[in-house]
């Protein structure tokens, strides 16, 4: 069970070299490096680990990585063979664009992440989760930022609305 306090407090992540194979876009049973990196994060009292490949952050052990450059510019790694893009990622991109955010799918490095206005991660089980610390470096003064909170609100509203619609459809059927 996920402790709901992490959404108000935000989480710490660590970065590690990405030693996985180059077809990360294919979900396989060979997830040992992901599991080991998640375990390393736990051992270092962090919530998640973000992989670095060729100087750029690709994704987390079980999440997608995002940075907020300014009030309306959000950056995430492009959907290619280096990430498992995920349904939550795709859904959030649509929501952000619909709400006039400029979503840029391009690689970003650790310096850009540490200098970002805010950072967050996404996954199917976590939705949108604020990242407040990367490798012991505070992001957004060590607190979830207002833009991330707005994104969380937009995503949660979208899910609530669509779950309600689905529930109504199921009741009719």
**What's 140's DSSP letter?**
G
Rounded Cα gap, residues 108 and 58, in angstroms? 8
Sign of CA dihedral 36, 38, 44, 50: positive
DSSP lists the bridge partners of residue 118 as 68
Query: At what angle are helices 146-172 and 87-98 packed, to 10 degrees?
Result: 110
Rounded Cα gap, residues 137 and 143, in angstroms? 12
Helix (H, G, I), strand (E, B) or coil at 101: coil
Helix (H, G, I), strand (E, B) or coil at 98: helix
What are the residue numbers of the active site?
A: 27
Which of 78, 84, 71, 64 is CA-nearest to residue 13?
A: 64
Q: Is 131 exposed, middle or buried (0-12, 13-18, 19+ CB in 10 A)?
A: buried
């Amino acid at each position: 069970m996920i402790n709901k306090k992490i959404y108000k407090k935000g989480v710490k992540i660590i970065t590690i070299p990405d030693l996985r194979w180059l077809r990360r876009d294919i979900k396989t049973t060979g997830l040992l490096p992901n599991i080991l990196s998640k375990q390393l994060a736990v051992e270092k009292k962090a919530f998640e680990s973000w992989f670095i490949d060729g100087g750029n952050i690709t994704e987390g052990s079980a999440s997608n990585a995002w940075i907020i450059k300014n009030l309306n510019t959000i950056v995430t790694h492009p959907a290619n063979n280096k990430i498992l893009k995920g349904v939550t990622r795709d859904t959030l991109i649509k929501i952000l664009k619909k709400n006039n955010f400029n979503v840029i799918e391009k690689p970003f490095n650790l310096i850009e992440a540490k200098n970002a206005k805010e950072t967050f991660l996404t996954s199917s089980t976590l939705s949108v989760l604020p990242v407040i610390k990367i490798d012991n470096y505070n992001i957004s003064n060590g607190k979830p930022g207002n833009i991330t909170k707005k994104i969380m609100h937009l995503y949660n509203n979208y899910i609530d609305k669509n779950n309600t619609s689905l529930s109504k459809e199921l009741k009719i059927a």
